[in-house]
Every structure is written in structure tokens, then in C-alpha cells.
Chains A and B, each alone.
Chain A
Amino acid sequence: MSAISPAPSFATRWWNGTGVVRLRREGAVAPIGAFVVFFVVYVIINPALLTRFQLQTAANLVVPLALVALGQLIIVLVGGIDISIGAIMSLCNVVFAVQLETMPVPVAILLSMGVGLACGLFNGLLVAYGGLPAIAVTLASAFIFGSLAREVLDRPGGGVTKEIYLATSGELLPFVPVALVWLAVVAVLLWLLLQRTALGRHIYGVGSNMESVRAAGLNARLTKLLAFGLAGVITSFGAMMLAASTVTGDPRSGDPYLLSSIAAVALAGAAFTGGRGSIIGTILAACTLGLIGNLLFFAGVNSYWQYVISALIIVAVVGIPVVWKRIAFAARGARS
């Protein structure tokens, strides 16, 4: 058999390699392509991006969004959506900033992570064990967590210091922003968790087909609960990175991240019915959306265009594959 069929070319073999197949299946090819195009255009218009200062600024701008988008991605993977993610971010942000006034840094970090975990578990309990729709539960908790955040700290402030800024948002080595290192650490750990552990595979499974997972004797509800908790913790990382890079705690700092985290997950090609979505796609989608404003600034365009262009990119990147599939389907039908 193998003697008759010609050996596949290197390109075909590469294209069918497991990693690429996984990326295609997870819908990550379009966002990766979009990011590459975006990055090339950016560097052509503004070669100074590759200077130390601009790299660091860009990283600090993008990393909180990327982390919150990863949190949102995990919820979307189990077939939910988190309307409260902006409020969780605000709450973790102010808890971190306020605790720094009195507590040692590790305690503040742990408390902020704990608050994120608690918020996620609160949502997860109601969704997984209460049988309530995620969108409605997180709508309610958006009001609750948001009000708690303003109860903790009612105006921007807190005790974030210069040292913390340097540890999260400075430079590790020349040309290597610390923020990107932290993002990479979280992303790799999350990737290992999702792709190499049973829990991770269950998370994808619960999103693709909850009934099958349950029929296979796995604890689908516990998986969902843990997914919400995990998302809460990752959101708290984003909140702490934001507090550190802005050197302040702000009870409304998370608000803009509600819509932009969902936009990033959508741009990443994730399915909002669950079960499909990739980490690398989400991070690159967040980078694209986060840097459009900068690109326009350097191109001399009114940076208000960033809102219009972001929307068009999302609709184009998510919509074109759908249209393409339909045209291909129609063409196949016409031929047969």
C-alpha cells in the first residue's frame, strides 16, 4: 500500500502534524494569521516597537487583557460566558492594592487570588450545581462583585509600590518585558493543565458534549465548578498585573475588560457553545485588539478609529470562515 501511494510532501505532513491539526480544530489559524498580518503592518509603520521602552509599554498594555481573556476562554470552553469577569477583576484589583498597604506582598497576592477563586466558585456553584444559566448568574454577580469592589476601595488608591511595578511590568533582561514572562508562565501552565491533565480534557469534553461526559461516568458538574474557579484565579492574575502596571488600585478598572475579554475570545475562534478554543489564539487575539489603538496613533490616524477597526476585524475573522465554508459547500453541491 505504502509502496504505491506517493509519500506526502513535507508541506502536507507539516500541515497535518498533530499540533497544526489541533490549532485548526480549535479555530486558532485565523486569529494567528490576523496577528501575523497585524504585527507585520505594525512593525512597518512603527519600527520603534522593537525598542526596549515601546516593547515594555506594549506588553503592559496587552498582558492584563490577555490574562482576563484566558479566564473568559475557560468559561467559554465549558459552554458558559462570564458577564461578571470585569467585576471580578475590579474586586481582585482593589483587594490586592489595599492589602499591600498593610500586608507583605505574598499575602496580598494570595488574598487576591483567593478572592478570584471565591468569585469563580460562587458563579460555578450556581451554574454547575444550581443548574442556572451562566449568563444570568454572572449578570447577578456582576452587580454583587462590583459593589463589593467599591466597598473595599471607593476611589483609585491603594499601596502599590514602585518595586511591585518593576517586578511585574519592568524588564527582566534587555528586550524582555517581565509582563510577557509572567504571561508566558501562566499560558504554559494553563496549556499543560488543559492538554496534559484529565481535568483539562474533561473541561473540553464538558463543553463539547455534557451528556456524553456524564454518560462516561465523569463528574461533569465538578469539572464545571473547577473551570469557573480556575478562571477566577487567572482573572485575579490579570487584575494584579493591571494594578501593578498602573501603580494603583481602581474599583472600576475591570469594567472595560468585560466586553473586550469576550471580543478577544470571539476573535480567537472559540465556539460559544463550548468545547473549542485555543490558548495561543486567545493571547494573540488579545494582543491584536490591545495594540490597534497604538498602531493608529503611530500611523497618524485618529485613534478613535480603533473601536471601528476592532469590530470589523472581529466580524471579518469570525465571519469569513463561515462564508467561505458556505461558498465551498454551494460549489460542491453545484458540481455533483
Chain B
Amino acid sequence: MTTPGTSSVTGTPETVGTPASTGPLGTAPGLDTGGPADGSASPSPDSSSPESPRGSHASFLSRVPRAVWPLVAFVVLFAVGGLIRPNLVTIDSLIGTATFAIILSIASYGQTIAVIQAGIDLSVPNTIGFSALAFLTLVGPLGPVGAFVAALAAGALIGFFNGAVIAKLGLTPIVTTIAMNGLLFGVILLAFNFSELTVTPDFVIAITSAKISLLGITMPAVLPLGLALMLVLQLVLSFTGWGRSLFVVGAAAETARLAGLPVDRIRITGYMLSGVLAAFAGIVIVGYYQQASATMGASYLLASVAAVVVGGASIFGGRGSVVGTVGGALVLGQVSTLVTVLNLGANIQQLIYGAIILIVISLYGRRRAA
């Protein structure tokens, strides 16, 4: 059957919302003004009419897909960086920021999938750690490709358990994935012999930290890899029945059930994809930084949710895109670059991250029913 969300796909890969995404919520002026939230904006996403009382200007803005705003904000921040330090506007600087951002993005793709279906995956950190260490351990007996497949399969299994407990037992996603995160930490500490895990296989280096030349620009291989993954995931989310039904389940699970969608199966497969992507992130992080530890994923617990939220996803589900997540990661990455260049220190960076999240949610994070 056709899912209700399919009708909203207008052709651009960035257009990811249900019909509600063209509502007046999009009239928020984006991050570039940095101004306070416009309290008069109606927070009701149910009014799908594009006719905004603020006339054609607002109506045009409301049609711009949300995923564009973080990218706009990134460009503005990049320009601001250039005004402060003109030597920042170089290809190298851009590539540096983008590489940082794409690694955060790869770690946040799975989180995006979980948030779209009105869940959250707090087991991302230790899924990253588990898959990275499992990969390094299995490279010896299975070879690099076998170990790669095994690590992704482990991610799928982790996601399956998350999804099954959430969908079948009805436990809250937050509690389920926190429990899974704890369980995985125990398994990581019990199962792996850290002293033997020092050699990163060439295969992984080749797809992550190895420098390649693309269009005459030298960049680490992880950058095109992450962008290609973004493209594939966005196409799956926007143009496949499964991808569209993920949005429906996230926006209104009960409606989806009444419409005959196999909600439990969609939930479980959603968490499986989330687990696979987190596992993939683990392998990428090992390849790029060439080190692995039990707590290597810890910093991605809040950062992955931050990238998804800054990317314009609704924490209540039913709205979000991987393109937006990459945009969110780029914004956070550019802030990090600026803070480093201006020598402000890591604390200020965290403070700005918090402020950015507050600005973004006050622009379009209003509670649906309030």
C-alpha cells in the first residue's frame, strides 16, 4: 500500500518532511540571524496549508526544506571565520572542518534513523566501541572483509535487540538503549584483549584516513565515503516505502497501525539500521584515528544527538534527514574550528554547542500539543 508520506516527496533529495514540513514552522529565519525565537509563530505542524498569514515571503521561506538551514548556517559561520581570520578561507581549512564533521555525521546517521521513528539510540557510544574492537579482534582469523561484515552484523544484532525490546515489550527507547549501552560496556571489558589490538588493517586505512585526490583537491578518503553514505541513506529515507513508513511511524504510530503498516517490524528494522550505522562508525573511527579503547565512543553520546537536533530533526519523531544531520555536524565542526583558531578553549566550544542547540530548538522545537 502507499504510505501517506509518499505524496510529499517533491523531487529534491533534501525534501524529507511529511506534508507538515511545509507548514508555517519553516518560516523561522534560520540560524543566520541568531535572533531569539519568534514567539508568534504558530507551533502547530498540523496546519499543512502553505498559505501563511505573513504573505508570499514567509510562504517561500516555509517551502525551503529544513535541511537547508544548517547548511546556510555553516556557510555564514565559514564567512564569519573568514572575516575574523582571512587566512581561514582556504580549501585546507574547509576540508579539515568537513572531515571532523563527516566523522561525527557517520556516528550520527544511526541516531537520525532512531530519532525519525520517535525513538533515540543512547547505545551508539558502546556500539561504536564494540564494533571497532570486534573488528580489530576478528581481522586476524577472518581477514579484513570478513571482520568488517561480522562487525556490521554485530551492530545489526544489537539494533535488533533494542528494537525488539522497544516494539514488543513496550519499554521506553531511552531506558532500553541505556541498558544496552551498559550491557555492551560490560561485554567490551570482558571480551576483548586490549593489549593485542594495535594494528589497524590497511583496508580500513584505505577507506578512511588515506589521502586521495578528488577534483584536484586532496582529502581524506572518509569525506567522499561519508557523503556517499549520506546520499544513499537520504535516497532510502525519501524514496522507498520503508523509508517513508519510518516517518509515518515516527509521526503517528497509532495511525500507522490503523493504516495497516507493520509498525513493530518497521521499528525493529529501523533500530537494526541504526545499529549497523553505529557499527560502521566504529570501524571508520578506528581507521581514521588508528586507535581503539573501551571508552572510544563516549563523546558521541551527546554529540550524536546534538548533530541530529541541530540538523533540524524533531526530537518527537516524524521529522529529520541525514542531509540535515550532516549540516548540523558541519555547524558544530565550524564552531570547533573557530574556537580553536581564536584560542578560546574547549569549554567555550561546549558552551557554544549548548547555545546553538537552544537556538535551534527554540526556532522549531515547540511541543506539539502545548
Contact = CB atoms under 8 A, between A and B. Distances in A.
Answer whether A and B are interacting partners: yes
19 contacts: A131-B367, A136-B309, A137-B361, A140-B354, A141-B354, A143-B351, A143-B357, A147-B347, A147-B351, A150-B346, A263-B179, A304-B186, A304-B189, A308-B187, A310-B182, A311-B179, A311-B186, A318-B171, A319-B169
Contacts of A194: none
Interface of A: 81, 83, 126, 130-133, 135-137, 139-144, 146-148, 150-151, 154, 259, 262-263, 266, 272, 302, 304-312, 314-315, 318-319, 322-323
A314 B170 contact: no
Contacts of A312: 183
A331 B190 CA distance: 41
B316 A133 contact: yes
Contacts of B122: 259
A311 B183 contact: yes
B351 A144 contact: yes
Contact of A132 (B179, B350, B361): B361
B354 to A, nearest CB: 3
Contacts of A263: 175, 178-179, 182
A124 to B, nearest CB: 14
Nearest to B187: A308
Contacts of A272: 172, 174-175
A143 B347 contact: no
B182 A151 contact: no
B178 A305 contact: no
Contact of B169 (A139, A143, A323): A323
Contacts of B175: 262-263, 266, 272, 314, 318
B361 A136 contact: yes
Interface centre among B172, B179, B351 (most CB of A within 10 A): B179
A307 B43 CA distance: 42
Given A136-B309, A259-B122, A259-B178, A144 B355 contact: yes
Contacts of B302: 83, 139, 142-143
Contacts of A148: 347, 351
Contacts of A139: 302, 305-306, 309, 357
Nearest to A150: B347
Interface centre among B182, B349, B361 (most CB of A within 10 A): B182
A142 B303 CA distance: 11
B221 interface: no
Interface string B292-306: 000000000010011
A191 B366 CA distance: 33
B348 to A, nearest CB: 7
A144 B302 CA distance: 12
Contacts of A307: 182-183, 185-187, 189
A228 to B, nearest CB: 15
A315 B165 contact: yes
A142 B179 contact: no
Contact of A319 (B171, B187, B355, B366): B171
Interface string B334-370: 0000000000001111110111011001100111001
A308 B190 CA distance: 10
Contacts of B37: 130
A141 B357 CA distance: 9
A13 B347 CA distance: 58
B181 interface: yes
B361 A147 contact: no
B163 to A, nearest CB: 14
Contact of A308 (B172, B176, B183, B365): B183
B178 A143 contact: no
A147 B170 contact: no
B190 A131 contact: no
A152 to B, nearest CB: 10
Contacts of B353: 140, 143
A314 B358 contact: no
B183 A262 contact: no
Contact of B361 (A133, A144, A266, A311): A133
A258 B164 CA distance: 24
A312 B190 CA distance: 16
Contact of A136 (B181, B350, B357): B357
